[in-house]
Structure 1
Amino acid sequence: MIHYKTYIRGEGYEWVTFVHGAGGSSSIWYKQIKAYKEHFNILLVDLRGHGRSKQHLGKRRPKYTFEDVSRDIIEVMKHENIASSHFVAVSLGTIIVQIIAELEPHKIRSMVLAGAVTRLNLRSQVLIALGNLVKHIVPYMWLYKLFAWVIMPRARHRESRSLFVREAQKLCQKEFKRWFSLTHGINAFLCSLLAKEPPIPALFVMGDEDYMFLPAVQACVSQRQYAQLRLLMNCGHVVNVDQPEEFNRISIGFIREQTGDGRYEVSPA
């Protein structure tokens, strides 16, 4: 089982599960924990090969799929007797949550999808293709730093960029390759995954400077019945780090609305 940590508010409180992206760990949510644990029980997970889950790999297959990674979280929920949870995810973690919504939709009360990935644009496809060509000969941190800079290029994205690079340094080369292999054919996979919308309330929270992923998310949300989009100004891909107070206010308000505890309104994006 992957590594996880819980913060228990009490039996009468709903659960929120946090899912980080590729190369990160549950530590990226350090600006959310204090605010969230005032309202909810919290489940933090480290995905396969990330954070403290590196020591839990055991004899797993050298290659795995997004579904395998998603079932790890379902396994933890079952182990902790968590029947359902609200989910907060960032970057590639948003793909994991949407797979869980497809596999076992009854386990998800609502979704907050930050810096969501719904489709790769041409620039990101070129970067992925180049990365796959040289991943066996170039140190993985060189590639990761390049991706971090391209995705989060501005000076005000420095904290997010540094955080993800620092967390990625804890990965080994083999684990980076395993995760990188998941990007093969990812647009076709995402197209299939997102073709049908589950009847689960979803809030997409995007930075106005997330130029690589924002246009695709805007197009996706415009076609959905249960999804809303909130745009944060002067903010890049990792919105929970760039604008933590605003992110916490919006996301906690949205989840509390789903529980019937409080009122929340999304301003037009």
Structure 2
Amino acid sequence: MVFLHGVGGSHLIFYKQARLFKKNMNCLFINFPGHGKSKSLDGDYSYTAIVHKVIEVLDHLQISKCHLIGISLGTIIMNEFSRVAPERISSMILGGAVISWKPWTDFLFKLAYTIRHLVPYMLLYRIFAGILMPRRNHKYSREFFITAATKVGQPEFIKWADLLINAQTVFTKALDQANDIPKLYIMGAEDHVFLDGAKFAVSMESNSRLETIPQSGHVCNIDQAEAFNRLSLAFINQQAQINSNKTTA
């Protein structure tokens, strides 16, 4: 199981999953370039380049095929991965999936993008953390999100901002290249920016389904970790059973 985190964070966003999942399977936690202890990449970023860095790690560890689980930004990388190398993916669990967002949010994202060189990145980060996770019960995940981002720095933030402004095109491109990868979308019922995008994705993909978690916002693996873990493990076990039946058939 390969874990892919959100923008500004690190593998630590999965701290409520790590111990439980390690008991049940082999786990690999990847930090994207410029996150955690991973070095930044030279030049501009692209989703394909990030995917190839992930594949480099898998090749180094001789992992030919894996289950993917991601949160927020991690789900964008997963969709690009499914386009670039679908044969390397057994299944996908997309938490707080970023497929598309509402027009008013798009306006705010583009406004922030135009001033990204002029404004301290943490100010923008705090504003958008409040927009994405506005409720009182989102406070812990919101503060976790903000604290993690303080380690990224302005230059790295700008590189990822340049990439994220085109995030909505990734799913469309992946959809054009059909695959049969089983997918589970797990969304907070209060994820008011991204939930509709996940619903749209499921309506377009025959081999996917959506589970929504009550009283949870965008970072649903932290807001309601127990429910997230239960749904994820049930899905993985289901896929293992399906694969076992195929092998013995």
* Structure-1-length-normalised TM-score: 0.87
Select 1:38's aligned residue among 10, 15, 23: 23
Tell me how far apart the structure 2 counterparts of residues 113 and 135 of structure 1 sit (CA, whole Å).
28
Query: Structure 2 CA distance, aligned partners of 1:87 and 1:190?
Result: 16
Where 1:120 maps in the other structure, the secondary structure is coil
2:63 aligned with 1:98: no
Match of 2:35 in 1: 50
Distance in structure 2 (CA, Å) of the matches to 1:120 and 1:184: 11
Q: Output the CA distance in 1 between the equivalents of 2:48 and 2:127.
A: 27
Aligned pairs for 1:88-237 (under 5 A) are 88-237=69-218
| Alignment partner, residue 3 of structure 1 | none
Q: Is residue 241 of structure 1 aligned with residue 214 of structure 2?
A: no
Alpha-carbon separation, structure 2, partners of 1:184 and 1:203 = 25
Counterpart AA for 2:34 = G
Matching residue's letter, 2:77: I
Residue in 2 that maps onto 1:27: 12
Equivalenced residues, count: 243
Aligned partners of 1:195 and 1:120: how far apart in 2?
20
Matched letter for residue 90 of structure 1: I
- Alpha-carbon offset, residue 77 of structure 1: 0.3
Percent of paired sites with the same residue: 37
Q: Which secondary structure state, in structure 1, belongs to the residue aligned with residue 58 of structure 2?
A: helix
Map Cα deviations across residues 203-257 of structure 1 (whole Å, 9 max, x no partner): 0000110010101211220222100100100110011000001111110110111
Deviations 1:155-201 (A, max 9, x none): 10011101110110000100000000012333344322333442000
Deviations 1:65-104 (A, max 9, x none): 0111111111000000111111110111101011111111
The DSSP-based 3-state class of the residue aligned with 1:241 is helix
Partner of 1:5: none
Q: Which residue of 1 aligns with 2:246?
A: none
**Whole-Å Cα distance in 1 between the matches of residues 79 and 5 of structure 2?**
13
- Are the aligned partners of 2:188 and 2:213 in contact in 1 as well (CA < 8 Å)? yes
Answer whether contact 1:128 1:183 (CA < 8 A) is retained.
Answer: no
Q: 2:63 is paired with a residue of what secondary structure?
A: coil
In the alignment, which residue of structure 2 is the partner of 1:78? 59
2:9 partner letter: G
Relative contact order (C-alpha < 8 Å, sep 6+): which is higher? 2
Q: Does 1:61 align with 2:62?
A: no
After superposition, the CA RMSD in angstroms is 1.5
Contact 2:5 2:11 in 1 (8 A): yes
Aligned mates of 2:194, 2:82 — CA distance in 1: 21
User: C-alpha displacement at 1:261, in angstroms?
Assistant: 8.2
